[in-house]
Structure 1
Amino acid sequence: MTLSGPPAEGPLSSGRAVRRDGPLLALLCVLGAALQLYGFHWGVITPDSVVQYGQALTGVYDDWHPPVTAWVWRQLLRLGQGGAPFLAMDVLLYWSGFGLVARGLLLRNGRGAALTLLALALLPIAFGQVGAILKDPFMACLLLAATALLIRREWGGASWLRLPAVLLILLAGATRFNALFAALPLLLLAVPGQWIRRPLHLVAAATAAAALLVGANWTLNEVMLRPGHSHPINSLVNFDLAGIVAHGGHNGWPGLPDAEANRLVARCYTPRLFGMADEQLCARTEERIATHVATRGESAISVWLRALWRSPGAWVRHRLDHLNWNWRFLVPVVPDDAVYIMSQPNELGLHFAPNAVTHVVGWTARAMAWTPLGRPATWIALAIGLLIVAQQLPSRRILLALGGSALLYGLAYAVVSVAPDLRYNLWTLFTVMVGGAIAFAERAHIAGDRWKMALLPAILVMKLEVIALLVGAIG
């Protein structure tokens, strides 16, 4: 399998396309950014936003959230207080990324391909999620801008574009603990194709890229920022221990009697998340883990591994149930979190007031979320389709990177997720938007049977999603 290939020639000369339609694309991006800024000024404020803004103001961080996001916000405070500079940064990254790829599509495939991508950038879930001041849209926008630079490089741009792209990827890789999976295929796209044509060379490059991502994450979030340690891993371990008990496995909590464990699981556990029914009562199990780690010197990971060893089947069933909610696959209802419209009370001066644009985006995003096109399971199925058609297309290296990034990032939630918020899957949506526009623009290179093979996973997934909703409505 080769990962390189010459760029396709577009139907228009580069100079003519830029002169005729370039200003139109730029104007559309500016208008899109202005609409986004107006609808979400100055950023939707969630509890996480308040916590990280407080850390940005003081310069004192903890590691419940990777502190690099709060550190970036602290640097932006030189431009203005509150969420305005952070929102402006996300919007700039968002429209710069889509605009740069659209310009490349204009040069190679014509106006229709470019306008198709910009229309996708207006999809309400993607458009609206960027309005929240959170690490998830920040990560997705960083990766989008980096991907756009690498696509420009693949389509004949200057070699130096790799450097800012790699820096953006490394920063994005430090914003979420599982961002490594999304970032790794993009770093491989930054490697010249001729360097990784052989399987052993590809494995070596992937190993080096993973080490670079881990090293950059550790350097930024531990060495440079020196956060206080809040042990967020305990939350993951606690959720899995509860899921194992709920699915008939052994009680893995150190020193917690079986009867009490069963009582707490019955009260606190659902496949979606742990502890919403009674936060004070449900906190006891995670406190038990923290106390054990502090007094016995055993790590939470050891507790987790021992529980998995004793009850692997129960853990797998728990994880599959949760992944189903994370991907919103066979679910009877759809959670109302397609776009956040809220303003968490605080004393730091943060505030968000929705307007007519916000409400329209929120309503259309909720409507999209109820359809198969608003589900992470569908996006992942479409990413598989990108991998199926990639080998036949001139932009195969780009599509392999995008499809691989979406698939690895989405599959990582099979192990590391503790909540099913839609925002966690935002990057998967971005990859499908960009990759789908490129594949559609190059569709003339795809044989009919390969198109059918590429669309089959998404068609099957969408049918099952609709059936599950209908069953839930009848029930």
Structure 2
Amino acid sequence: MSATVERWTTSLRENWRDGTLWPWCLAAVAAACGYGVATVFHPGYLSADSNTQLWQALGDEPVNDWHPPVMALAWRVLIGITGNFSAMAAVQAGLLWGTLWVLARLVWKRTGSRGLSLAVLAVGFAPHIVNLTGVVWKDVHLAYALLAVFAIALTVRDLPPSRVKARWALLVTALLFLVYAALVRKNGVPAVIPVFALLVLAAWPAPGRRRWAAATGVFAAAVLAGGAGVSAATDPLATRVYAVIPVDDLVHVLTPEQVRTAAERAGADADLRDRLVTAAVTCRKRNITSDGYLQCFPQRRPFDVTYLDRRADVIVRMWTQQMPKHWKGYAEYRARVFSKLLFRSNQVFWNGTHVNAGARLHPEARKQPLNDTLRFALQNYVTGSARDLPMLFQGWFWLAVSLVLVLRRRWPGPHSRELRLLGASSLLYILAYLPTAPESNYRYVYWPALAGTVALTLVATAYAARRRAAGPSEAAARPAVPPAGRTPGATPAGPREDAGAAV
């Protein structure tokens, strides 16, 4: 028995020294960290949007496409499997930390450094990343799905050619994540495109035109099929929520009298005309500069999500008739909202649960109250970091990071092209908010913040690994410097030799 234990001990020591055990140690650390973060957020922090989707996921309200039906469907499936709505927040934490483990393992394989691989896991504890990990938001789902595709792409690239089955299994998994990302955020498609290109280049380092066309066709077909499948499973009510953007432009660019005239010219009914005029007056009176449909537009109780669906065509007609005439005011207004998003992002920490006026928190959520002790501890960490390191929570910083990632031609390490595409995804996602941002909210730059943090971490680990590798070789190549008074190649002399030399 003692001999067996001794053999096991010897084997473990050898595996520890040669690094065989370290990926499993990283997995254990990632699992423990993910469990800890999930515990802090349990049963999941809900916004008004996610509370609405919880009602839909549980079948207590009909699904509508104001919020992504695919997220409600995914939540419904999780609840059906686990019997608890808190599974969604736990899955979010598990996906993030599982992805970080994959990236940490890749860094370990490339550098052989335990410290650098742990630095990748530390991304999950960064204040601007952990602050939303357990908040059930479509923005979080988009970010984690795209990061998972990035990690899978790097893994596929490093697989030997003989691992054909593993390669295709990973590619199919990444495709599913990409389809989900495209469906879960209506304006997320610009961010998805560079990540899709990254995945194709990982599978085929030099794809030709036919392969690009085939891959693009497969992806487009998968997105269309996925959307059709979600619609068939949920039968969502049509809302045409995109109309909130022209409403915002109209009530902030035009005066109330101009809004009235524009509505009559476009053929709006009296109810829509009066509500638009009231919204324009209210926004000016209360100095509300964005999100006019939800903040200023008169709403009935309960909230009618189909109101815009019946009037979207008229609203779009008003916009197309008026904005070319008021292009200067439109440009100034959009610059104002976008600059606020870049420099004054709010809601760096979501404090638990919230419902809209006139709505109510789902009874299932009320049964599982939040842990206030852990919530306040996390809040102190995040808000203190926002005070001391405000740039981490502001869009301009991550816009600058994405620009640097895209414009630099070469980055250290083997993933220079992947880092540029990751930066392109962040850049396009931020710029897509220039004509569409409804308000200033940190969650709108959460994907650029996550992508930028991961990219900067990988760049830093590559620089550190290069310095470590260059250190011994530079030391070996550097000529030895003899001490003062001694010539190169001379050996230390004893007392007699010294005396003789002195004579």
TM-score (norm 1): 0.78
1:411-450 matches, cutoff 5 A: 411-443=431-463
Alignment match, 1:471: none
- Give the equivalent residue in structure 2 for 1:364: 381
Which sections of structure 1, spanning at least 5 residues, go unmatched? Answer: 1-13, 448-475
Contact 2:75 2:88 in 1 (8 A): yes
- 1:159 paired with 2:163, answer no
1:144 aligned residue? 147
Distance 1:374 1:361 in 2: 16
What does 1:27-66 correspond to in 2, within 5 Å?
A: 27-58=28-59, 60-66=62-68
The 3 A distance-change label for structure 1 pair 287 and 436 is closer
Aligned equivalent of 1:72: 74
1:127-177 C-alpha deviation (Å, 9 max, x unpaired): 120111222212222222222111211233652222111111111210010
- How far has the Cα of 1:261 moved from its partner? 6.8
Question: Contact between 2:131 and 2:348, CA under 8 Å: does it hold in 1?
Answer: no
**CA–CA separation in structure 2 for the residues paired with 1:268 and 1:68:** 36
Distance, in Å, in 2 between the alignment partners of 1:291 and 1:388 is 42
CA contact 2:34–2:94 (8 Å) conserved in 1 = yes
Partner of 1:313: 328
Match of 1:339 among 334, 338, 350: 350
Cα distance in structure 1, aligned partners of 2:305 and 2:55: 25
Q: Does 1:128 align with 2:131?
A: yes
Pairwise CA distance, 1:190: 1.4
Larger radius of gyration between Structure 1 and Structure 2: 2
Equivalent in the alignment of 1:389: 408
Q: Give the 3-state SS of the residue equivalent to 1:154 in structure 2.
A: helix
Is 1:301 the equivalent of 2:316?
Answer: yes
Rate the CA distance shift 1:15–1:156 in 2: closer, same or farther, 3 A: farther
Distance 1:261 1:159, change over 3 A: closer
For 1:25-83, what per-residue CA distance to the aligned partner results, in whole angstroms no more than 9, with x for missing partners? Answer: 12221121121111111101222122111111218311110111000011111233443
**Aligned-partner residue type, residue 330 of structure 2:** W
Counterpart of 1:178 in structure 2 is 187
CA distance change for structure 1 residues 263 and 279 in 2, over 3 Å: closer, same or farther? closer
Q: Say yes or no: does 1:280 pair with 2:281.
A: no
424, 446, 450: which one aligns with 1:404: 424
Cα–Cα, structure 1 residues 372 and 199, in superposed 2: closer, same or farther, change >3 Å?
farther
Identity rate, percent: 22
Structure 1 residue 259 displacement after superposition: 7.4
State which of 102, 118, 121 in structure 1 corresponds to 2:121: 118
1:374 aligns with 2:393: yes
Distance 2:350 2:326 in 1: 37
What is the root-mean-square deviation in Å for CA atoms of aligned residues?
3.6
Candidates 323, 329, 332, aligned match of 2:338 = 323
The residue matched to 1:89 in structure 2 has which SS?
helix
Structure 2 counterparts to residues 181-330 of structure 1, below 5 A: 181-192=190-201, 208=217, 211-212=220-221, 215-216=224-225, 218-245=227-254, 253-255=262-264, 256=273, 263-267=281-285, 270-274=288-292, 280=298, 290=308, 293=311, 298=313, 300-327=315-342, 329=343
Render the CA deviation track for 1:350-382: whole Å, top value 9, x for unaligned.
134133332222222223334112212211211
Contact preservation (8 Å) 1:43, 1:132: yes
Mapped partners of 1:136, 1:259: distance in 2: 32
RCO higher in 1 or 2 (8 Å CA, sep ≥ 6)?
Answer: 1
CA distance in 1, matches of 2:298, 2:106: 53
Deviations for 1:235-266, whole angstroms, at most 9, x for unmatched residues? Answer: 11211112322799877851348976752441
Tell me which amino acid in the other structure corresponds to 2:79.
L
In the alignment, is the contact (CA less than 8 A) between 1:289 and 1:300 conserved in 2? no
Give the Cα–Cα distance (whole angstroms) in 2 for the partners of residues 287 and 129 of structure 1.
27
**What is the CA-CA distance between 1:178 and the residue it aligns to?**
0.8
- Partner-residue secondary structure (3-state), 2:316: helix
Per mean C-alpha deviation after superposition, the further-off stretch among 380-389 and 217-226 is 217-226
CA shift in 2, pair 1:410/1:202, >3 Å: farther
Kept in 2, the 8 Å contact 1:136–1:176? The answer is: yes
Unaligned runs of 5+ in 2: 1-14, 161-165, 265-272, 468-503
- Distance (Å, rounded) in 1 between the aligned partners of 2:20 and 2:43: 35
* CA spacing shift, 1:263–1:194, aligned 2, 3 Å: closer
Do the aligned partners of residues 95 and 189 (structure 1) sit closer, same or farther apart at CA in structure 2, a change above 3 Å counting?
same
**1:101 aligned residue:** 103
Give the Cα separation in 2 of the matches to 1:30 and 1:260: 53
The answer to whether the 8 A contact 2:253-2:333 is kept is: yes
Deviation at 1:272, TM superposition (A): 3.9
Q: Which amino acid aligns with 1:102?
A: A
CA distance in 1, matches of 2:402, 2:82: 39
Aligned equivalent of 1:472: none
1:43–1:291 distance in 2 versus 1, CA, 3 Å: closer
